[in-house]
Chains A and B, each alone.
Chain A
């Protein structure tokens, strides 16, 4: 659903202004200001293309992949934002009681803004209310890795049909992670599964256990983040192993945005089943004109549907305007527009924390400036 160039321009300018707004109040180095402006401009340009061309997934993926790699780049090079978080920016300490204590100290010490579960908890609440499951396709720090690899090859080398019984694997895996973490009083996912730990410090002192953990980290990284996404063109880590994705598939339902199938338009060509990177549509759900809760709102199905039967709605409904309303306003008062603007604003807010710095660092490395 393409928008008029003027509508697209208004929306992208609005996004650019909001993302850049904090920079006008911060006393930043000129280089950082330029980098932030450039990145905001890239986001605004993508917004323009999304609205004017009517394609969501392609331009979203570009921003999303940059976000993920910039995060990894900054995290691994120990940027100032991450210097106090040696393991990762979420689970700062290795044991539950220490973790609770550190969160308490950060709160009473007025340091709650430093990355930790308290601050990320508020962030989660905000994104759940604003984006719901769309976090996983628009603003997640890690989602861009398997999303990126799944886009490298044009056609899947191997067609994989997920048995219906296994679609709830991520929820089962999350229940397992929660239960075992309580039993062991340590963050099990971080210690045993998270690919981000592949090159960081270990919690366990036992060398034998470290070997096993390294093997698991490498397996998860190679198999779920790189090989499977390349071969079957699906986001396998996000689909099966990410506990937050599973969590969000439950709690994200409070968000009003939905990807809905118009029963009157759908011709059951099953293109959406094949292309959905999250296994969020299967034959059973398509027959009921439903999309599963695992949908990350990446927009792929919307883009490829030959009859435009799939669209973003507000709980299955869209805003209706009378013909008397000016066309630009009618185009803006659309669930799809509200959704994309919200997503890009959150993406901009999150990515501005590290993408401009990563850009500067990369330029310094490449050109020796």
Chain B
């Protein structure tokens, strides 16, 4: 088990940079809008995001380990595309609510507690659909075909990759610029539209 944990950790450390690049398009615009000047406030976002990712890993490790060799690649790729579309829609709704705060629909969304859970949902959805290192880990899971082993392996992977998201805390020192919030809003909108298009394309292919 310790070997598996270390193996997952090694995969996480070696591919974490790539993992971060997959998370950045969602996390950076969100942080530009929501981050405040306190480090702990922003650390909370990142931890929630990481927790969402951890949940995604655990659920997938469980499902894939149970399925083992019965796992069907095509179905999985469709699930990934759908997850990408949902995360894109989430980003679009978020950007829309922030850009047009006076609209009735936006007031409803903005005042609800759903937006506060955004980092968790983003972490969860991105954890299972975009991150390429996750796909590498998945191959190992198919080989292991054991729920306990799979979870340990992915726990190591999660810890390894989690370190790479910490530099995002450096945004704390720039978010004081009000103009950046507006830029973050627009970026969130473009990112949402982009991943919606990519998700639909990959679903149709």
Binding site for B on A (CB under 8 A): 165-166, 168-169, 171-173, 175-176, 179-180, 182-183, 185, 206, 208-209, 212
Q: Closest approach, in angstroms, between the C-beta of A365 and any C-beta of chain B?
A: 40
> Would you call B99 and A176 a contact (CB within 8 A)?
no
> Would you call A176 and B194 a contact (CB within 8 A)?
yes
Other than the known A165-B99, A169-B186, A173-B190, what 10 A-B pairs have Cβ atoms closer than 8 Å? A168-B182, A172-B183, A173-B186, A175-B28, A175-B183, A176-B187, A179-B21, A179-B25, A183-B21, A212-B201
What would 15 A/B residue contacts be, using CB atoms closer than 8 Å? A165-B182, A169-B186, A173-B186, A173-B187, A176-B25, A176-B191, A179-B25, A180-B194, A182-B24, A183-B21, A183-B24, A185-B21, A208-B201, A208-B204, A209-B201
Residues of chain B contacted by A185 (CB below 8 angstroms): 21
Q: Closest approach, in angstroms, between the C-beta of B95 and any C-beta of chain A?
A: 10
B205 at the interface (CB under 8 A from A): yes
Chain B, residues 85-122, CB within 8 Å of chain A (1/0): the string is 00000000000000100000000000000000000000
B22 at the interface (CB under 8 A from A): yes
Answer whether A171 and B22 are a contact pair too, CB < 8 Å, given A165-B99, A176-B194: no
CA distance A208 to B203 in the complex (A): 12
Q: How large is the interface on B (under 10, 10 to 19, 20 to 34, 35 or more residues)?
A: 20 to 34
Q: Closest approach, in angstroms, between the C-beta of B103 and any C-beta of chain A?
A: 14
> Would you call B190 and A183 a contact (CB within 8 A)?
no
Residues of chain A contacted by B185 (CB below 8 angstroms): 172
Answer whether A168 and B183 are a contact pair too, CB < 8 Å, given A179-B24, A179-B25, A183-B25: yes
Residues of chain A contacted by B29 (CB below 8 angstroms): 175
By beta carbon, the residue of chain A nearest B187 is: A172
By beta carbon, the residue of chain A nearest B195 is: A180
CA distance A176 to B24 in the complex (A): 10
CA distance A20 to B25 in the complex (A): 47
> Which of A168, A182, A208, A212 is close to B186, meaning CB atoms less than 8 Å apart?
A168
CA distance A166 to B95 in the complex (A): 13
By beta carbon, the residue of chain A nearest B194 is: A180
Q: Closest approach, in angstroms, between the C-beta of A342 and any C-beta of chain B?
A: 30
Answer whether A166 and B205 are a contact pair too, CB < 8 Å, given A182-B24, A183-B21: no
Q: Closest approach, in angstroms, between the C-beta of A287 and any C-beta of chain B?
A: 17
Interface centre among A166, A169, A176, A209 (most CB of B within 10 A): A176
Residues of chain A contacted by B187 (CB below 8 angstroms): 172-173, 175-176, 179
CB within 8 Å of A: which of B1-48? 21-22, 24-25, 28-29
Q: Closest approach, in angstroms, between the C-beta of B130 and any C-beta of chain A?
A: 7
Smallest CB-CB A-B distances: 3 pairs = A172-B186, A179-B25, A172-B187
Binding site for A on B (CB under 8 A): 21-22, 24-25, 28-29, 99, 130, 179, 182-187, 189-191, 194, 197, 201, 204-205
> Would you call A166 and B22 a contact (CB within 8 A)?
no
The count of A-to-B residue pairs whose CB atoms sit within 8 angstroms is 52
By beta carbon, the residue of chain A nearest B23 is: A183
Q: Closest approach, in angstroms, between the C-beta of B200 and any C-beta of chain A?
A: 10
> Would you call B205 and A172 a contact (CB within 8 A)?
no
CA distance A182 to B17 in the complex (A): 10
Residues of chain B contacted by A172 (CB below 8 angstroms): 183-187, 189-190
Residues of chain B contacted by A179 (CB below 8 angstroms): 21, 24-25, 28, 187, 191
By beta carbon, the residue of chain A nearest B200 is: A212
CA distance A169 to B183 in the complex (A): 7
By beta carbon, the residue of chain A nearest B28 is: A179
Residues of chain B contacted by A165 (CB below 8 angstroms): 99, 182
By beta carbon, the residue of chain B nearest A209 is: B201
Q: Closest approach, in angstroms, between the C-beta of A187 and any C-beta of chain B?
A: 14
By beta carbon, the residue of chain A nearest B184 is: A172
> Would you call A208 and B205 a contact (CB within 8 A)?
yes
CA distance A175 to B189 in the complex (A): 12
> Would you call B194 and A182 a contact (CB within 8 A)?
no
By beta carbon, the residue of chain B nearest A182 is: B21
Q: Closest approach, in angstroms, between the C-beta of B87 and any C-beta of chain A?
A: 13
> Which of B22, B184, B189, B204 is close to A183, meaning CB atoms less than 8 Å apart?
B22
Q: Closest approach, in angstroms, between the C-beta of B164 and any C-beta of chain A?
A: 13
Residues of chain B contacted by A175 (CB below 8 angstroms): 28-29, 183, 187
CA distance A185 to B22 in the complex (A): 10
> Would you call A183 and B130 a contact (CB within 8 A)?
yes
> Which of A182, A183, A206 is close to B205, meaning CB atoms less than 8 Å apart?
A206
Q: Closest approach, in angstroms, between the C-beta of B80 and any C-beta of chain A?
A: 15
> Would you call B201 and A180 a contact (CB within 8 A)?
no
By beta carbon, the residue of chain B nearest A177 is: B190
Residues of chain B contacted by A166 (CB below 8 angstroms): 186
Interface centre among B182, B201, B205 (most CB of A within 10 A): B182
Residues of chain B contacted by A212 (CB below 8 angstroms): 197, 201
Q: Closest approach, in angstroms, between the C-beta of A6 and any C-beta of chain B?
A: 47
By beta carbon, the residue of chain B nearest A171 is: B183
CA distance A166 to B190 in the complex (A): 12
Q: Closest approach, in angstroms, between the C-beta of B135 and any C-beta of chain A?
A: 14
CA distance A209 to B200 in the complex (A): 11
Q: Closest approach, in angstroms, between the C-beta of B33 and any C-beta of chain A?
A: 11
CA distance A183 to B25 in the complex (A): 8
Residues of chain A contacted by B204 (CB below 8 angstroms): 208
